[in-house]
Amino acid sequence: MRPDNQALPKKWILPALVIGLAGLMLTIAHFYREEGPQPLQEKDIPVVMGHREGCFLCHQEMTGLSPSHDPLAIGCSSCHQGNPLSADKEMAHQGVVKVPGNMETVMATCGQSDCHRDLAVKVTGSLMATGQGMVSVNRYVFGETQSPDGPGHLSHLSSSAADTHLRQLCVTCHLGFPKTVSAAIDEKSRGGGCTACHIDYSAEARQQMADYHQSRELPRLHPALNIKVGNERCFGCHSRSARISLNYEGWHETLLKPKEAKQLEKFRILQDRRVLTFQGADVHHEKGMLCLDCHSARDAMGDGTGYNHQGEQVEIACIDCHRQDQGRFVTYGDLDADSIKILQLRNVENRKSTEYLASDRTGRPLINLTRGPDGAVRFQGKLDQQPRELKTPAAACTAIPEHDRLTCQTCHTRWAPTCIECHTQYLPDKQRKDHYTGEKVQGVWREYKEEFLALPPVMGVRMDKRLKREVVDTFIPGMILTIGGISDNRPDSNAPPEKDPDRYQVFRRMFAPTFSHTVQLESRSCQSCHQDPRVLGLGEGRIEYGTVTDRTGEIPIQFTPESRRHPADGLPRDAWTSFLETKTRDTATRTGSRPFNRVEQQQVLRVGQCLLCHPPDPGNSARIYTRFAQALEERPSQCLQTPKPTQ
Amino acid sequence: MPGSIFNFWNLRCSTFGNLAFAAFIIAVVSGIPLSIAYDVERASDSLQLILLTSQSAVFFRSLHYWSGQAFLLFTLIHVIEHLSKNSERGLKEGLWLRLVLALLFAFFVMVSGFILKADVEGRMARQILSGLLEIIPMVGTELRIAVLGNADSLKLIYIHHLITTTLFIGIVIIEHMRRAWPELLSYVYLLGVSAMLAVLIPQGLQLSGAAKIRGPWYFMGLQELLHWIPNPLVVMVLLTGGLLIFLLLRWMKGAGSGWTKKGLFVLLVVYGVLTINNWGFRDANWNSLFF
Amino acid sequence: MNHTLKPVLLTRKSFLKITAILLSVYPLKLFYDVSRTRPGTGTQKQQVLTMDLPEGISFHTDIIAWREKDKTVFFAARCPHLGCQINRFENERLICPCHGSQFSMAGKVLEGPAVRDLTELSFAADAARRQYTVFLPN
């Protein structure tokens, strides 16, 4: 107890003064802030989707969007977030999303429950967003996993050797890579979520955006959001890796520099300074077809299933258009809501009285393959609405029983980009940007390429998961490469600072099944497969046939490779497999894919021996090649030896 | 130990009672310009227009909000302080009853303000409160009507927020404090802090249904309880029981009183833990990191 | 003089107190009458929706629609727990934002605190105008 005569301690005045003054000053500052346009009336601020949209105070009369995306119908903040209830510029722009379509914000913007929720969910789980195969195969190649299948997501990468390799060299090619600049899609565009494919800057919109960067005058023309997905929107990403976008239009990437390009007859230089030569376009491109015309929305955006590899997600198949049978059709009333919506948006004529072909692989409708009331089946370009004739396969496609495992592209591929040998090395002294984090990192993965040629593809065998059987398909080198600079599955900071191809920890010789998108109308010649060792996966070289004494014996065949042998495994540097040997382990980037085994090589080459004397004209085809097993039995004795030198 | 902290605070700063009273007055006065602009017939729209067209209205609205939160917070601390000192035994019985009622009204004045925002959160809060009142047996519907009024109108809630509860709370505070005005220092603190918060953290409206809707901070613990206990009537019984025990504190003596107060404090801490779990560890779909 | 206090049943003071309380009931009753809900008009509320609904779940204010191929079902979007509007759908579950009750796409309650399923709504289909008229409960 305090004695009565002791005074109570004084109350603290100073904190009160400080707090009071601070409050006063902030209040004054608040009232002297720059206000928005004045004086404001109710009519200046429209009501959109149940609330006042303050964005219109500055961003009036924004045009360029379709009626369903019109700002007066859905507002600005429903996509761009921010605070529509403030006239103060800074406050209004708090939390604003410049590019709503980016994957990181898509579920709150395009994918809101009232809008494109289902599509956004499918897309975020699709291969263009996850890149699962890219990650799982890369880890397999680097030796970090035992199989090319497995989990993986380009937005969840570690700091292992394989993943840092991806982060520096490959990771921008997925939808999760954010678009940060408001600009039209060009050759170098990568990522951006929904905006990767669906944003469309007209020339006028581009101009206004350029003006804005100069003079800060607000654009009045918003880029359109549409489904007019032309090839240029696929180009940025698909002109890399298997180069599908380039192949389709006939362009092959060389290793030349731009100033060396002038020596070429027909060349093209891309924005990123890669030099291309013309090798021959896909016949579908020559007919004016776009990527979109074959690849349905489900192909590209996914169907909700998380696939591991690209080939599993794709729905379209050659036989959908080039049918040998009647096909199954779906009526308009049975179409799914998305297909109906797309037909409405494209304003397709007579869509309600048309039937739609069901895809052979999945049974789901392909909306530009139709059957009208007259019973005729038609193909229609999705953007130009122009019909194109559907050709049925030639009789030759099914004439030879031994060809029943062949895919269409085995005979009808003009060329495929083929890389021979490379070396990938970790250089600890260099720096570069890690696209995953956006920051510069110490230690760089560099690829040293040897040759990059346009050649007819190699053949091999693939296990088709949908058909549940093996098929013969086209393959290109996934890689024939050495990787140096790895220590314990991590980039080795003690690796040599300069290129050293003789020092490596991993050697891989694996081919990848590919559909190179260079389809040609004419089939390749019989000789180009049956007599070409390179196509069989043996590498360039000379095949020589020997002699046998009786019909039951196998004709001895000799192969002399032309290319030098790779020190790592002794095989020719452009080969896939060994001559008359069966290789099954670590040969391909897909489980179930493999080069021809010993028996298959013998079977193919045996036909090649016949072709030396019996060209594949109609007479010989009828007598020999369409009944080959019996023809072998009936061989006269002169067939048992090879009369002239082999090619 | 807590007693000495309270004593220190009271001697150097302003008592929590004074601070709560000052906050109350600031909230009431700052509410006056708001009530001029606010139109209860088109509640959300009038608020949106206020926010867009008037800087001063934005300030007063945020000041009203922050001083209101401070009022509840300081009132609760004041109650804890004085219960720990057994001050309730010195109060007249009638006054104690009125104070408990005023505390209940204080929660209602706060949540009615939350509902009057008429945004997504406000509508949800109204629906939950309406549901909780309706399930009370026998008098539920009548109680709901008396408290919340017509389902499609905010008028009665507005009247309660502006007049009924405010008047009652004001009168009881004056009767309790035996003065009509808190001390100047408490005004300076409250105005200063509320103004700072009003400028730095202005209040908006929750327009989107997609964002996580939390509800007011003082009812987050209640939301957790409602999530865990399937029958909301059980929750109402628990709350009523708690309120009754609190009411009876005035007449408890000796060890009984001490243990009851400790028990209530433990319940308050548990409520705090539930609040933190709801606030920090649940996403918009009620998925939780822990439990 | 000896003034002894006679025991009484009721002092004047307490009588006045009780009367005052009883009289105050009447103004309270008036207050209640003023604030009472006007009785419903008796007509059932209904909402018109297009037939071209997206597949799966879609939200339409007070109605949740579930379309699977050619079958469509409508539910009241009111949570059976405390009546909040259900407007979230994640991982094939409808979720109430108020307290996290979860329902399957067929309206069956999966996780509490709700204990009852969603109310299925009756509707009339107009094939010519390609629209549904859904009837809401009062």
CA–CA distances in Å: residue B125 to residues A86, A321, C85: 24, 58, 11
Domains: count for chain B: 2
Chain A interface, mutation test: which of B48, B52, B188, most A Cβ atoms within 10 Å?
A: B52
Least confident stretch, A11-15, A40-44, A185-189, A605-609: A40-44
Residue A633 banded pLDDT, cuts 50, 70, 90? confident
User: Could you read off the pLDDT of A231-243 as tens digits, one per residue?
Assistant: 999 999 999 988 9
Residues B172, B199: one domain? yes
pLDDT of residue A36: 56
Would you say residue A539 has pLDDT above 60? Answer: yes
> In A154-296, where does DSSP find H-type helix?
161-169, 195-198, 203-215, 232-238, 244-248, 283-286, 291-294
> Residue A336 and residue C55: Cβ atoms within 8 Å?
yes
- Mind telling me how many Å the CA of B52 is from chain A's nearest CA? 5
User: Could you read off the pLDDT of B12-46 as tens digits, one per residue?
Assistant: 888 999 999 999 999 999 999 999 989 999 999 99
> Residue B226 and residue C113: Cβ atoms within 8 Å?
yes
Comparing CA positions, the residue from B182, B111, B178 lying closest to residue B148 is: B111
Residue C82 touches chain B, beta carbons under 8 Å: yes
Residue A96, CA atoms < 13 Å, CB-side half-sphere: 15
CA dist., res. A57 & res. A73, Å (int):
16
The fraction of chain A above a pLDDT of 70, given in percent, is: 97
Residue A50 touches chain C, beta carbons under 8 Å: no
Provide, as residue numbers in chain C, all residues whose Cβ is less than 8 Å from the Cβ of A117.
89
Residue C41 banded pLDDT, cuts 50, 70, 90? low
Give yes or no for a contact between A196 and A175, defined as CB atoms under 8 angstroms apart: yes
- DSSP string over A274-300: -EEEE----HHHHTT--HHHHS-HHHH
The answer to the question of residue A245 being in a domain is no
Q: Hey, what are A311's tokens? A: 């080939």
- Mind telling me how many Å the CA of A117 is from chain B's nearest CA? 12
Residue C119 banded pLDDT, cuts 50, 70, 90? very high
Q: Which residue of B has its CA nearest to A39?
A: B53
Residues A425, A554: one domain? yes
The torsion defined by the Cα of C103, C84, B287 and A192, in degrees rounded to 10, comes to 90
Would you say residue A611 has pLDDT above 60? Answer: yes
Q: Which residue of C has its CA nearest to A338?
A: C54
Residues B81, B199: one domain? yes
pLDDT of residue A596: 96
Residue C89 touches chain B, beta carbons under 8 Å: no
CB-CB: which of A9, A24, A87 is closest to B52? A87
Lookup result for tokens 């229609």? A380
Least confident stretch, A37-41, A285-289, A466-470, B19-23: A37-41
Would you say residue A105 has pLDDT above 60? Answer: yes
pLDDT of residue C38: 53
CA dist., res. B48 & res. A51, Å (int):
8
> Residue A337 and residue C88: Cβ atoms within 8 Å?
no
**Cβ-based neighbour number of residue A29 at 10 Å:** 10
pLDDT of residue A560: 94
CA–CA distances in Å: residue A139 to residues A146, A251, A495, A583: 9, 30, 20, 21
CA dist., res. A467 & res. A537, Å (int):
24
pLDDT of residue A37: 58
CA dist., res. C115 & res. C101, Å (int):
9
Q: What is residue C17's three-state secondary structure?
A: helix
CB-CB: which of C53, C67, C88 is closest to A113? C88
Looking at every residue in chain B, the average pLDDT score rounds to 91
> Residue B189 and residue A113: Cβ atoms within 8 Å?
no
Q: Which of B179, B207, B235 is the last residue of a domain?
A: B207
> Residue B229 and residue C113: Cβ atoms within 8 Å?
yes
Query: What is the bridge-based pairing of β-strands A469-484 and A416-434?
Result: parallel
Range of the domain at A437: 399-640
**Assigned CATH for C45-136:** 2.102.10.10
> Residue C35 and residue B132: Cβ atoms within 8 Å?
no
Residues B202, B220: one domain? no
Comparing CA positions, the residue from A372, A368, A366 lying closest to residue A382 is: A368
pLDDT of residue A416: 96
Task: State the sign of the Cα–Cα–Cα–Cα dihedral B246, B248, B249, B250.
Answer: positive
Residue B175 banded pLDDT, cuts 50, 70, 90? very high
Residue A635 banded pLDDT, cuts 50, 70, 90? confident
The pTM of the full predicted model, rounded to 2 decimals, is 0.84
Looking at every residue in chain A, the average pLDDT score rounds to 90
pLDDT of residue C3: 62
User: Could you read off the pLDDT of C90-104 as tens digits, one per residue?
Assistant: 888 999 999 999 999
Residue A114 banded pLDDT, cuts 50, 70, 90? confident
- Mind telling me how many Å the CA of A123 is from chain B's nearest CA? 20
Residues A441, A300: one domain? no
CA dist., res. B149 & res. C36, Å (int):
6
pLDDT of residue B117: 94
- Mind telling me how many Å the CA of A430 is from chain B's nearest CA? 42
Residues A353, A434: one domain? no
> Residue A340 and residue C52: Cβ atoms within 8 Å?
yes
Amino acid letter for position A369: L
For A502-515, what is the mean pLDDT?
92
CA dist., res. A639 & res. A631, Å (int):
11
CA dist., res. B186 & res. A81, Å (int):
40
Find chains touching chain C: ≥3 CB pairs under 8 Å: A, B
The answer to the question of residue A97 being in a domain is yes
Residues 6+ apart with CB under 8 A from B134: B140, B141, B144
Find chains touching chain B: ≥3 CB pairs under 8 Å: A, C
User: Could you read off the pLDDT of B50-62 as tens digits, one per residue?
Assistant: 888 888 888 999 9
CATH number at residue B23: 1.20.810.10
User: Could you read off the pLDDT of C23-40 as tens digits, one per residue?
Assistant: 878 777 776 666 665 555
Q: Which residues of C touch A (CB under 8 A)?
A: 52-56, 59, 67, 69-70, 87-89
User: Could you read off the pLDDT of B116-169 as tens digits, one per residue?
Assistant: 999 999 999 999 999 999 999 988 988 999 999 988 899 999 999 999 999 999
CB-CB: which of A11, A22, A31 is closest to B56? A31
pLDDT of residue B110: 97
Residues 11-50 of chain A with CB under 8 A from chain B are 11-13, 15-17, 19-24, 26-27, 29-31, 33, 35-36, 40-42, 45, 47, 50
Comparing CA positions, the residue from B1, B68, B71 lying closest to residue B30 is: B68
Would you say residue A5 has pLDDT above 60? Answer: no
Would you say residue A647 has pLDDT above 50? Answer: no
State the burial class of residue C128 (Cβ atoms within 10 Å of its Cβ: 0-12, 13-18, 19+): exposed
Residue A375 banded pLDDT, cuts 50, 70, 90? confident
For B255-262, what is the mean pLDDT?
89
Residues A450, A485: one domain? yes
pLDDT of residue C40: 52
Residues A329, A475: one domain? no
Domains: count for chain A: 4
Query: What is the bridge-based pairing of β-strands C63-68 and C131-136?
Result: unpaired
> Residue A84 and residue B207: Cβ atoms within 8 Å?
yes
Amino acid letter for position A47: V
CA–CA distances in Å: residue C21 to residues A395, C8, C15, C25, C28: 104, 21, 10, 7, 11
Residues B170, B216: one domain? no
Report ipTM for this prediction. Answer: 0.84
Let me know the angle formed at the C-alpha of C122 by C121 and C123, rounded to the nearest 5 degrees. Answer: 120
Residues B147, B227: one domain? no
For A362-387, what is the mean pLDDT?
91
pLDDT of residue B224: 93
Amino acid letter for position A371: R
Q: Which residue of C has its CA nearest to B231?
A: C113
> Residue A54 and residue B11: Cβ atoms within 8 Å?
no
> Residue C52 and residue A114: Cβ atoms within 8 Å?
no
Residues B183, B220: one domain? no
**What are the strands, taking DSSP E only, across A373-468?**
377-380, 387-388, 416-434, 439-455, 458-464
What residues form DSSP beta bridges with A21? none
Residues A162, A114: one domain? no
pLDDT of residue A461: 96
Q: Hey, what are C67's tokens? A: 């379309």
pLDDT of residue A53: 92
User: Could you read off the pLDDT of A578-598 as tens digits, one per residue?
Assistant: 999 999 888 999 999 999 999
Range of the domain at B239: 212-291
CA dist., res. B103 & res. B101, Å (int):
5
Residues A135, A94: one domain? no
